[in-house]
């Protein structure tokens, strides 16, 4: 009989990106992005992240600050069909729902004087949420679900019979990348600016989970063992049988159904060089940036590991893929700006402990947005973003299933003062459905997973500038 409890996936894949972006990158670093994701040609303070060279085109010289808080709510649902699940409640299909909520701050700063600018930012570069699965996951319960059939196969000749199981399973996983960036931009000409940045990424991941109180209705009326077929704790049952019969096989079964717990954290860091270019002339503005691949090596810090899957001190790779952003926009009648943007994440070149072999093509995002400037105080904007993954089934699991999606943002900005602006926005993400059928397991049974997700984010931010003013 195979192991009843196994954690076969890296912790860093458990809590995938909480917001917009690629497999390991959050691109929503400012409330302006929530209301219009096409920010890759921005020349406002959010350009510190979305378009570094655009900082050279800030409207006013002096100090610029942006303070932002986003709240995200996400559900991840895996409807898993596996025939042995019927031993627990009669239905071979069970639904496992993970819920995540996060309040995510971010900050951008720039100082501009004439032809040069310096900048800095802090935000959550990847992940950002904790996913709670109060009933565990199908991949974990399936290890227990085969228990009745396995017991009947191995103990049936001795007169034992089992037709049901139950368990208490719960888990939560977290991944957060804290990202701090510094850089500078320089206006080469009146129309052209160049920028360079360095970003420090501190990556943390954690997993805390358990499977306990496994029960079965194992009975053997001929031996007077549980003749009514009541549910009984499996560990005590097998331990008692081992003591009564002296059969070491029952002791081995007791060890397999004993309570199991994992409490592990991982940490790592990486440095990301970033370069950018911006061009602006006759109402047109074009921005581009390239973030180099970031090598990240995670190290286990394990407090409890009853599975033997996460030895303390073991290292694993979890690189952040390189990222290219290209955007273009046109100002129409001094009132409306239309922008188009393309993101490309070089996922196949990143080391993800072998999972990159299941990536068919790199991730692409296609974005369009519009901003309407109403008078001197109001800005209303909206945009849409299509995130397109191309992943083989082997990349996905019920712990981590990136799904292609369409995001829509809307919101506005209001100038409270000439140098103080309030941003408010909403971003909703609407995911495709994904069905994955596994290969047959050791018992000749296949598992079918139907994956779905929901995600909603709201945010508020303040942009403030002061100091030298253009004449």
More confident residue, 307 or 39: 39
DSSP reduced 3-state for 234: helix
* Segment 170-195, tens digit of pLDDT: 988 888 999 999 999 999 999 999 99
* Segment 304-327, tens digit of pLDDT: 988 787 899 999 999 999 999 999
Check residue 173 and give its pLDDT: 87
Per-residue tokens: 139: 């991949």
Residue 282 has pLDDT above 70, yes or no: yes
DSSP reduced 3-state for 431: strand
Q: Please state, in angstroms and as integers, the Cα–Cα distance from residue 172 to each residue in 23, 49, 137, 265, 426, following that order.
A: 19, 30, 10, 12, 27
Name the strand (E) or helix (H) holding 27.
none
Specify the range with the lowest mean pLDDT, choosing from 15-19, 151-155, 286-290, 430-434. Answer: 15-19
- Nearest-angstrom CA–CA distance, 430 and 426: 13
Q: Please state, in angstroms and as integers, the Cα–Cα distance from residue 235 to each residue in 51, 104, 213, 454, following that order.
A: 59, 43, 8, 39
Total-model pTM: 0.91
Report how far Cα 190 is from the mean position of its chain's Cα atoms. 41
Check residue 247 and give its pLDDT: 87
Pick from 471, 431, 360, 11: nearest CA to 204:
11
The residue written with tokens 């973003």 in the block is 385
- Dihedral, 81, 83, 86, 91 alpha carbons, nearest 10: 40
Check residue 101 and give its pLDDT: 86
- Dihedral, 355, 358, 364, 365 alpha carbons, nearest 10: -70
DSSP reduced 3-state for 424: strand
Helix 234-245 / helix 248-256 crossing angle, nearest 10 deg = 170
- Nearest-angstrom CA–CA distance, 109 and 182: 9
* Segment 424-470, tens digit of pLDDT: 999 999 999 999 999 998 889 999 999 999 999 999 999 999 986 55
More confident residue, 25 or 181: 181
* Segment 228-278, tens digit of pLDDT: 999 999 999 999 989 988 888 889 899 989 999 999 999 999 999 999 999
Check residue 36 and give its pLDDT: 96
Report how far Cα 56 is from the mean position of its chain's Cα atoms. 32
Fold of the CATH domain 11-137+173-207+268-466: Porin (2.40.160)
- Nearest-angstrom CA–CA distance, 390 and 393: 10
Helices (H), 81-218: 138-145, 147-155
Cβ distance 58 to 114 under 8 Å? no
Q: Beta-carbon neighbour count of residue 406 at 10 Å?
A: 15
Pick from 252, 373, 286: nearest CA to 57:
286
């Amino acid at each position: 009989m195979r192991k009843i409890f196994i954690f076969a996936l890296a912790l860093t894949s458990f809590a995938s990106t909480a917001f917009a972006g690629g497999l390991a990158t959050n691109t929503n670093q400012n409330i302006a992005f929530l209301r219009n994701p096409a920010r890759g040609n921005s020349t406002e303070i959010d350009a510190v992240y979305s378009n570094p060279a655009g900082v050279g085109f800030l409207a006013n010289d002096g100090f610029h600050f942006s303070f932002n808080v986003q709240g995200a709510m996400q559900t991840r649902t895996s409807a898993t069909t596996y025939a042995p699940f019927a031993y627990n409640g009669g239905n071979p299909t069970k639904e496992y729902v993970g819920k995540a909520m996060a309040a995510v701050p971010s900050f951008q700063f720039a100082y501009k004087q004439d032809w040069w600018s310096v900048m800095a930012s802090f935000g959550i570069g990847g992940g950002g949420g904790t996913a709670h699965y109060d009933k565990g996951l199908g991949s974990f319960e399936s290890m227990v679900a085969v228990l009745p059939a396995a017991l009947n196969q191995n103990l049936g000749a001795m007169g034992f019979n089992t037709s049901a199981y139950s368990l208490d399973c719960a888990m939560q996983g977290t991944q957060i990348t804290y990202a701090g960036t510094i850089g500078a931009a320089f206006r080469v000409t009146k129309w052209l600016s160049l920028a360079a940045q360095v970003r420090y990424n501190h990556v943390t991941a954690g997993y805390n989970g358990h499977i306990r109180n496994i029960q079965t209705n194992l009975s053997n009326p001929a031996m007077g063992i549980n003749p009514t077929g009541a549910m009984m704790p499996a560990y005590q049952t097998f331990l008692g049988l081992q003591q009564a019969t002296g059969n070491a096989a029952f002791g081995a079964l007791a060890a397999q159904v004993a309570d199991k717990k994992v409490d592990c954290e991982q940490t790592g860091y990486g440095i990301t060089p970033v370069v950018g270019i911006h061009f602006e002339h006759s109402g047109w503005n074009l921005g581009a940036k390239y973030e180099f691949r970031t090598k990240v090596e995670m190290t286990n810090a394990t407090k409890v590991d009853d599975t033997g899957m996460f030895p303390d001190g073991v290292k694993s790779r979890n690189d952040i893929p390189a990222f290219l952003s290209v955007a273009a926009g046109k100002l129409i009648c001094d009132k409306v700006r239309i922008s188009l943007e393309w993101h490309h994440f070089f996922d196949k070149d990143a080391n993800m402990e072998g999972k990159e072999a299941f990536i068919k093509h790199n991730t692409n995002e296609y974005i369009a947005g519009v901003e309407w400037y109403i008078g001197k105080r109001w800005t209303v904007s909206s945009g849409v973003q299509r995130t397109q993954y191309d992943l083989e089934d082997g990349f996905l699991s019920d712990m981590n299933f990136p799904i292609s999606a369409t995001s829509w943002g809307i919101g506005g900005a209001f100038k409270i003062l000439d140098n103080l602006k309030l941003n408010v926005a909403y971003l909703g993400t609407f995911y495709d459905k994904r069905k994955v059928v596994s290969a047959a397991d050791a018992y000749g049974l296949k598992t079918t997973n139907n994956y779905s997700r929901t995600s909603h984010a709201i945010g508020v931010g303040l942009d403030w500038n002061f100091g030298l003013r253009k004449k």
